[in-house]
Structure 1
Amino acid sequence: MDLTDVDGRLFFTADDGAGERGLWRADNTGTTAVKLLDFPYNYGSDGRYDDHGYRALTDVGGTLFFITKTDRTDALWRSDGTKGGTVRIQRFDDLDSRGGENGPSNMAAVGDTLYFTADDGDLWKSDGSKAGTVFVKHIGTGGDENYYYGPTELTSVGDTLYFVGDDRTGSGSEELWRSDGTAAGTVVVKDIYPGADFHEGPSRLTVVGDTLYFTADDGVHGRELWTSDGTDAGTVMVEDIVPGAESGSPSTLTELGGTLFFGVHDPEDESRDLWTSDGTAAGTSLVKDFDVDGEGQGYLPRIVVAGDRMFFFVGVAGGVELWTSDGTEAGTTLVQGFPLGWNSGGPGELTAVGDTLYFYIGGYSVAGADLWRSDGTAAGTVLVEHIDSPTYGGPGALTASGGKLFFAVDDSAHGNELWVSDGTGPGTHLVRDIDPSVMFVSRGARTGAANATARVPVTVYSSGTVKVAPARMGGVRKLRQEIVFDGNWYWDVATLTLDLTRAARRELRRTGRVEIGARFTYTSCAGPIETEKRTYTLKKRR
C-alpha cells in the first residue's frame, strides 16, 4: 500500500478484494475512502495480481501524478482527487529490445512540471497534458548500454533539475547533471572523478535553501560532502572530514533551519556521528560523537525533522535510543531507550506530523505492532496503540496528511488496511475495510499431471476450509481441503489440485483444450464465508 499527501489530501493504493488494485483517496477526517481508478490488470505467471501494477505516486504542484504498469504497456496518469479528473496522459511501451523497462520511473517535481525517466536513459518532462509530455534528452552512455538504466536521484533546486547520469564517455561512470528542461540546457555539471571506469557517481542529493549538497568520491579523498551551484567551478568538496582516501561516507543529509545536518562514519570507533555544515570547510563541524561505551555501536539510519528539532535513533548494546537535537551539542539529548529482542522489528517509519514524531517498534511489548509518538521529552514519548498483528512487523507507509497520521497495518482481523491516528488510542482506528475478503482465487489455472487435473492457486488471509464444486460448464469434481495460514506474512498461497471429469479429460485429449468452471467457497476460522466463481481454459500438456 502506497500513501502520498497532496495538499492535505491523502491518495493511496489498495486492493478491493476482487483482485483489482486501484487508486483511492481518503478524506481528512479519516472516516471515509473512495476509489478513483482500477489499475489495469497485470497478472503474473501464476495468475495472481502483480502488485507492481502501479508506481511512484508523486505530488506535482498540487496534482497527483502516477504510473500504471502491465506486461506490455506503462502509462503516465494524473489526478485532481476526483474520478473524472483522474486521466491517462500518455502510454509507453514497456519492454525494450534488451528486456529492460521502458516505462516511466524516477519521478520528481520541479515547480509545476514533472520530470521522469523512460526508455532506459531518456529524460522526459510533463505539464500534465499529452502535448506537454515531451522528450528532453537521451542520457545514455557513450558505449555499451546493457548495464545502464537511466538517470537517478532527480532533485529540484529552484527551477533547475539536478540528477545523476552516465558521463557519456563510455567509461561507465556517473556524474552530476543539471537541466532547464531543454536539450541544450541539459548538461554535465562537473567530471568529479576524471578517467574513472565504472565509478559510482554522486549520491544523496539534498537541497538546503538554494544550495545543492551531495556525497561524491573524486578518487583522492574518498566519499565526502560536496556542494554545487550548477557550475563546474562552483562544484566543490566542502571538507575532507575523514582525511585521506578513507571515506567519511556522509549519510541521512537533512535540513533544519536552513542548515545541513548529516551522519559521518567515524573509522576510529566504527560509529556514525552527527555533523553540521553551512557549505564551507570552516562551517563544517561535529555536533555529537555517538561512540557508545567504546563499542562503536552508534548509528543514525534516518534523521527526521519535527518542528524545530531533529529526531533519530542511536544503536546501543541490547537495543536502541531515541535522541533529539536542536543542532547544538548541548541541545542534543537522549529522549528514551528501547530494549530490543531477537524478534523485534524497528524502530522504523519515523514520520513527523507537525511538531510530533511518530514511529513504530514491532514486538517491543508482545507480538504485534507498537505505534509511538514523541514530543522530544521522556514524558511526552508514549505508546499510542498496540495493534495485534500476525507478524512482528509494524505499521508501514506512515504519512502525514491533514494534520493526522495515516498508515497501513494488519490487525489480524482485517488484513493490511488503511488506518488513521490523531495521537491517542481512541483516535487510532481503521479507516475502511477496503478488502473484506478472506480468499482470492487465481484467474489462471495450469493443467496438471497426465492432463487429468487443474492446478489453481488461491490466496487466503486466515486458516479455513475451501470447498470446490462444479459451476457453469463444470468439468471438475468436488473437493474439500483444509488450509492452514502460518501467519508469517499478510497472506498465504495454496495450490488446489482439481480432478477433471472423464468428459473433460476426453475433450482435452481430443482437441488439446477444454473449458471448465468451478465455485470456490472458503469458510475462514475467523468466521467469514466467501464464494467466488471462476472459468478456465486448460491446454493439453505435451
Structure 2
Amino acid sequence: MKPRILAPWAFALLLTPAAVAQPAFQVADLNTSQESFSFAPLFGGLFAALDGAFFFASDDGIHGIELWKTDGSAAGASLVRDICPGACSSLPMIFRQFGDRILFFARDGAHGSELWSTDGTAAGTVLVRDVHAGLSHGTTTAWLLPAGEVAFFSADDGVHGSELWKTDGTEEGTLLVADLNPGPAGSDPEPTLHQGGLTFLTVDDGVHGREPWLTDGTLSGTRLLKDINPGPGSSIQMYQGPSIFKYSAFTSWGRLFFIAEDGLHGRELWTSDGTTDGTVLLRDAAPGGSNGFSYFLTEWNGAVYFSGSDPATGNELWRTDGTPEGTTLVADINPGPEGSTPQNPTAVGDHLFFFAYDPLLGIELWVTDGTAAGTRLVKDIRPGTASSWWIFSPLCELQDRLLFFADDGGGTEVWVSDGSEAGTFEISAMSPAAIPDSLRFPFLTKAGGDVFFMTADENGSADLWVTNGSLGGTRRVFDPHTQTSSHVLDFFEGSLAYGPSWSKLGSQLFFPAEDGLTGLNPWITDGTAAGTVLLADVIPDDAVHGNASGMVDLGDGRALFATGALWETDGTPAGTAPLFAAGGPEAWQPMVRIGGSVFFTGSTPASGQELWKTDGTAPGTALIADLRPGNASSAPGQLTATKETLFFTAYTGAVSGDNELWKSDGTEAGTVRVRDIQPGPASSSPDHLTPLERRLFFAADDGASGREPWVSDGTEAGTFRLRDIAPGPASSIVSSTYERFAVVGSTFFFPAADGDGEELWATDGTPAGTRRVRDVRPGPRGAEPRWLTAAGDRLFFAADDGAHGRELWVSDGTEAGTVLAADLLPGSESGLPRDLTAVGGTMIFSATDGVHGVEPWA
C-alpha cells in the first residue's frame, strides 16, 4: 500500500425534515490498511534539530497535522503541542533553528498562518506575533531566514502588503523592516542568504521590478544593490521559497553570486562585492538572449562550483573565484554539447561529490578534487546504462562520508561513500520494492551524529527514519498511522482547486478513489458495495495516482472527464476510453457544459494552456482563443457557467500577471475580459466563482479593500463589490480551495470574517442585502464554515461551534434556522464532514465515526 494523495469518502443523509435522525451505513471500505499522514513541504524546512531533539510535522490520526519531536529512539516520539486543538491541523512548516528555539509557521484556528516559536515543550510553544490580526495569514511565503540575532521573513499585516519583517523571537521584537513598495501591494521580499552582517534578498519595489537588495536589518541599511534589468522589468525570478537548485551563494569571503537577467544576455551568472559598481555579469555562458542555466552554486575550497552550460560542452561542472578569467570548466564528463548535467555538488572534506550523466553509465555518483584529472566516477552503482540516481538526489555529509539515496536495481536505499569504489555501499534495508521513488521525500537533515529523513513504508505510511551511517544503523523511529482510512488529508487541506470530487451520471455517482492497488482513479457507485466499481486505470504504469476528478454529463448517456487527457464513459468499465486514440490536447479540470459544448482548459506545445471546447467528439474539439499568443499560457481557471455565459479567470500579463475575470460565448470574438478589477499589471485574482441565474458571485481584491465579495452580470458596469466586510485593506474572505460558496434559491452564501471570527454570510446581490446569517461561534476564532452545499431550500455546511467539534450544520438563511444537523462523532471530537454533494434526495459527504477512519458511507 502507499500514502493516499486524494480519495473519496461519503456519508449519506436523507434530505427530509427528520434528516438528523437518519442512520448512516458504510458503502465500502476501499482501503483496509492502517495509515495516517506525514508530509514534505516544497521548500525544505521539513525538519529541525535542537538540543538532541528532532522536530517534524505529522498526523497521528487524532490531532491533525501538528508539531512533533523525537530523540531518535523507537519510543522517543511525542506531540509537542496540539496547536490547533482537536482534529484540525495547524500545518506547521518551514522549521528553522534560531538560538535555543525553533521558529516555524503555523495556524491555531484563531489566527491565520503566523510565526511561531518552540523550545520543545508545550508551554514553550507560542505564537510570536499575530502580524495580520484575525484569521488572515500574516506569513506570505516559505522564506524564513535566521541571520545572526534576528530572523527575516516576509509577512503581510493587512496594511503594507507583503513586506520584509524581522524577529528576535519576541512579540515586541517582531517588526516591519521597511515598506519597500509603499501601500497594500507589497514588495514580496525573498530573504535568501546571510553572511557577515548582511542579508541578500530579492525585492519588487513596484518601480524597478524584482532586483537584488541587501539589508542589515534596519530601514536605512536596506538598499537596492543594482537595477540589473533597468526600469520595471525584473532581473530575478520569484521562487516563493528556497530552491533546491541553489541559484545563489554568499561566500565566506564576502562575495555574492546569483543568477540574473539584464534584458540582453538571458539568465546568467552574476557576482557582487556589495556595491552597485561591483555587481557585474560574470559569465555569458549562452551568448545573446539565451539562458546560461547556472545552478547548484556551492562554495568549496576557496571557489564556487556550479552546474553551468556552454554551447560547446553542454551542461558540465564549472568553478569560479569571482573573476571572468577564474571562471573555468572543471571537467567535460560527457564530451560534446549534450553535457553531463551535474546535480547537487556536496562537499565532504577534500572531496566534492555530485551525480552526473554519462551515456554509457547512466546518472551515477562522481567526485572531484577541483581538477579535470581528479574528476572521476565513484562507482557504477547500477551497472550499465541504467541510473542509480533518483529525482532531486539529496546528498549529505555525515562523519567525513557522503550519505545519499541510490537504487542498484533492487530499490532505493541509503548509501554511504568515502570517495572510493570499495568504500561506497548500501547501509539500509527499507523494504523498498513496494515503495515508489516519488514517495521518498527529497530532504536529508543532520542532527548531531545522525541524519533523519522520511519515506513510505510497506503499509503506505510516510514514516520518519534515522541513520548513523553504519551498516544496520538505519531504523524507523516514528510510524504515525493509527486508524484505517482510504483517505488522508493532503497538506493544504482540500486538493479540489480543479473541480468537485463527486459528479452525477444518471442515478450514479462518479468519484476519484485510491484502492491501494491502482492509484487514484475514476470510480462509480450506485450507493451499494456491489455497485461501487473502478471505471479505468487511467495511467496503468503510474503507481501513485491517475489524477481523475470531476465528470461532465453530456446528456446522451455519456460523460467526459479529464486526467491530463480527455476521457469518455458510459458509466461502465467497458465503455470508458480516451476521447482521442492518439494526439489531442492535454485537458484539465474543471470542465463545464453549456448547451452542446463542454469547455475546459487544454494545452498543446504551440498554444500553451488556453480555453478549449468540445462537443464530445475528437473532430469537435477545438481551441477557442489564444489569450497569451504562442506557448506562454493564460492558464484559464475556475470555469463557471451562468445561464448562457462562461466565466473564467486568466493571466494576460507579460510575466504571468494580471489575473482577472473573463467571459466567453464559445467564439474567439466573444471571449473578452469582463473588468480590470485591479487596474494595471497587478491581479485581483478572482476566485470562488459561483453562478446565480445570469449573475456571478465571486471574491476579488481591488487593491484597496482586500479580498471581498463581488457580483457580475457579465458587463463592466454590472461588476462591483458588494460590501467591504473587513473595512480597509484587510480581507474578509480567505482564499482556500475547500472554502466553497453556494446558492440557495436567490440567496448567495459565503464564509467571511468581519473581525469577529469567520462565520456564515449571505447576500441577495445588493450591498444592503449582504449580511451575517448567524454567529455560530462567538469570539475571534469563529465557526469557520466550510463545504457550503445547497440541497433543496436549505444550505448544508461543516462548522465548529466550539462544543461539538467540526460537524454538519444546516441553514434556511435565517439566524434561528441555522442549526446543528448531526453530531457525527459525538462529543467535542470532529466527524470532519467534507466534499458535500446533493444527489437526488441524498446528501453525500465525507465523515468518520472514529472507528473505521474516513470511508464511503450511505
Matched, 1:350 2:350: no
Q: Cα–Cα, structure 1 residues 313 and 26, in superposed 2: closer, same or farther, change >3 Å? A: same
> 1:285: which partner in 2?
328
Instruction: Tell me by how many angstroms 1:239 deviates.
Output: 3.9
> 1:264: which partner in 2?
308
> 1:139: which partner in 2?
180
User: Is the Cα–Cα contact under 8 Å of residues 364 and 387 in structure 2 kept in the other structure?
Assistant: no
Q: Cα–Cα, structure 1 residues 480 and 288, in superposed 2: closer, same or farther, change >3 Å? A: same
> 2:342: which partner in 1?
300
User: Is the Cα–Cα contact under 8 Å of residues 144 and 191 in structure 2 kept in the other structure?
Assistant: no
1:252 & 1:160 partners in 2: Cα distance?
Answer: 22
2:417 & 2:74 partners in 1: Cα distance?
Answer: 21
User: Is the Cα–Cα contact under 8 Å of residues 57 and 93 in structure 2 kept in the other structure?
Assistant: no
2:388 & 2:473 partners in 1: Cα distance?
Answer: 28
Matched, 1:380 2:402: no
Give the aligned residue type for 2:192: L
Give the aligned residue type for 1:53: L
User: Is the Cα–Cα contact under 8 Å of residues 508 and 540 in structure 1 kept in the other structure?
Assistant: no
> 1:74: which partner in 2?
113
Specify which of 417, 420, 428 is matched with residue 466 of structure 2: 420
Give the aligned residue type for 1:398: L
User: Is the Cα–Cα contact under 8 Å of residues 174 and 200 in structure 1 kept in the other structure?
Assistant: yes
User: Is the Cα–Cα contact under 8 Å of residues 513 and 540 in structure 1 kept in the other structure?
Assistant: no
1:239 & 1:346 partners in 2: Cα distance?
Answer: 28
User: Is the Cα–Cα contact under 8 Å of residues 308 and 317 in structure 2 kept in the other structure?
Assistant: yes
> 1:369: which partner in 2?
412
Give the aligned residue type for 1:488: A
Specify which of 243, 261, 270 is matched with residue 217 of structure 1: 261
Matched, 1:156 2:194: yes
Secondary structure at the residue paired with 2:393? strand
> Which residues in structure 2 correspond to 1:145-294 (within 5 Å)?
145=185, 150-169=188-207, 173-195=209-231, 197-200=233-236, 204-209=247-252, 210-243=254-287, 245-269=289-313, 271-290=314-333, 292=334, 294=336
Q: Cα–Cα, structure 1 residues 185 and 343, in superposed 2: closer, same or farther, change >3 Å? A: closer
Higher strand share: 1
After TM superposition, the score normalised by the length of structure 1 is: 0.76
Q: Cα–Cα, structure 1 residues 533 and 168, in superposed 2: closer, same or farther, change >3 Å? A: closer
Instruction: Tell me by how many angstroms 1:106 deviates.
Output: 1.0
2:336 & 2:394 partners in 1: Cα distance?
Answer: 28
User: Is the Cα–Cα contact under 8 Å of residues 68 and 79 in structure 2 kept in the other structure?
Assistant: yes
> 2:366: which partner in 1?
323
> 2:445: which partner in 1?
399
Residues 276-319 of structure 1 deviation map (CA, whole Å, 9 limit, x = unaligned): 122222322221123x2536141013111222321111123372
> 1:408: which partner in 2?
454
Q: Cα–Cα, structure 1 residues 460 and 18, in superposed 2: closer, same or farther, change >3 Å? A: farther
> 2:71: which partner in 1?
27
Give the aligned residue type for 1:331: G
> 1:85: which partner in 2?
124
1:309 & 1:182 partners in 2: Cα distance?
Answer: 39
> 1:106: which partner in 2?
143
Give the aligned residue type for 2:119: D
User: Is the Cα–Cα contact under 8 Å of residues 187 and 205 in structure 2 kept in the other structure?
Assistant: no
Instruction: Tell me by how many angstroms 1:205 deviates.
Output: 2.4
Instruction: Tell me by how many angstroms 1:375 deviates.
Output: 1.4
Residues 170-200 of structure 1 deviation map (CA, whole Å, 9 limit, x = unaligned): x5x2111111211122110111222363543
Residues 321-367 of structure 1 deviation map (CA, whole Å, 9 limit, x = unaligned): 211112222222111223576998446222222322222235x424x
Secondary structure at the residue paired with 1:93? coil
Q: Cα–Cα, structure 1 residues 289 and 174, in superposed 2: closer, same or farther, change >3 Å? A: same
Secondary structure at the residue paired with 1:131? coil
Q: Cα–Cα, structure 1 residues 8 and 245, in superposed 2: closer, same or farther, change >3 Å? A: farther
Give the aligned residue type for 2:350: D
Instruction: Tell me by how many angstroms 1:265 deviates.
Output: 0.6
> 1:115: which partner in 2?
152
Matched, 1:64 2:110: no
Q: Cα–Cα, structure 1 residues 454 and 42, in superposed 2: closer, same or farther, change >3 Å? A: farther
Range that drifts further, 196-205 or 426-435: 196-205
User: Is the Cα–Cα contact under 8 Å of residues 227 and 279 in structure 1 kept in the other structure?
Assistant: yes
Give the aligned residue type for 1:80: D
Q: CA RMSD for the aligned pairs?
A: 4.6
Secondary structure at the residue paired with 1:420? strand
Instruction: Tell me by how many angstroms 1:158 deviates.
Output: 1.3
Mind listing any 5+ residue stretches in structure 2 that lack a counterpart?
A: 1-38, 40-45, 239-245, 495-500, 519-526, 551-795, 797-808, 841-858
2:371 & 2:378 partners in 1: Cα distance?
Answer: 15
Q: Cα–Cα, structure 1 residues 9 and 112, in superposed 2: closer, same or farther, change >3 Å? A: farther
> 1:129: which partner in 2?
170
Residues 415-450 of structure 1 deviation map (CA, whole Å, 9 limit, x = unaligned): 111111122442211112233333277899x9999x
Alignment: residue pair count: 490
Secondary structure at the residue paired with 1:83? coil
Instruction: Tell me by how many angstroms 1:456 deviates.
Output: 12
2:132 & 2:448 partners in 1: Cα distance?
Answer: 37
Instruction: Tell me by how many angstroms 1:246 deviates.
Output: 4.3
Q: Cα–Cα, structure 1 residues 114 and 453, in superposed 2: closer, same or farther, change >3 Å? A: farther
Give the aligned residue type for 2:113: D
Greater relative contact order: 1 or 2 (C-alpha under 8 angstroms, separation 6 or more)?
A: 2
Give the aligned residue type for 1:73: G
Secondary structure at the residue paired with 2:427? strand
1:10 & 1:343 partners in 2: Cα distance?
Answer: 29
After TM superposition, the score normalised by the length of structure 2 is: 0.50
Specify which of 805, 821, 839 is matched with residue 515 of structure 1: 821
2:82 & 2:341 partners in 1: Cα distance?
Answer: 42
Secondary structure at the residue paired with 1:329? coil
Instruction: Tell me by how many angstroms 1:140 deviates.
Output: 2.7
User: Is the Cα–Cα contact under 8 Å of residues 372 and 384 in structure 1 kept in the other structure?
Assistant: yes
1:196 & 1:207 partners in 2: Cα distance?
Answer: 26
Q: Cα–Cα, structure 1 residues 180 and 249, in superposed 2: closer, same or farther, change >3 Å? A: same
Secondary structure at the residue paired with 1:190? coil
> 2:765: which partner in 1?
none
Secondary structure at the residue paired with 1:348? coil
Mind listing any 5+ residue stretches in structure 1 that lack a counterpart?
A: 44-48, 464-476, 496-504, 521-531
User: Is the Cα–Cα contact under 8 Å of residues 435 and 458 in structure 2 kept in the other structure?
Assistant: no
Secondary structure at the residue paired with 2:130? strand
User: Is the Cα–Cα contact under 8 Å of residues 212 and 229 in structure 1 kept in the other structure?
Assistant: yes
> 2:694: which partner in 1?
none
User: Is the Cα–Cα contact under 8 Å of residues 93 and 103 in structure 1 kept in the other structure?
Assistant: no
Q: Cα–Cα, structure 1 residues 385 and 483, in superposed 2: closer, same or farther, change >3 Å? A: farther
Give the aligned residue type for 1:127: D
Give the aligned residue type for 1:288: A
Secondary structure at the residue paired with 1:73? coil
Residues 110-152 of structure 1 deviation map (CA, whole Å, 9 limit, x = unaligned): 112110001243100000000000111123379x94xx76012
> Which residues in structure 2 correspond to 1:494-505 (within 5 Å)?
none
User: Is the Cα–Cα contact under 8 Å of residues 516 and 535 in structure 1 kept in the other structure?
Assistant: no
Give the aligned residue type for 1:387: M
> 1:312: which partner in 2?
354
Give the aligned residue type for 1:125: K
1:438 & 1:371 partners in 2: Cα distance?
Answer: 29
Q: Cα–Cα, structure 1 residues 513 and 245, in superposed 2: closer, same or farther, change >3 Å? A: closer
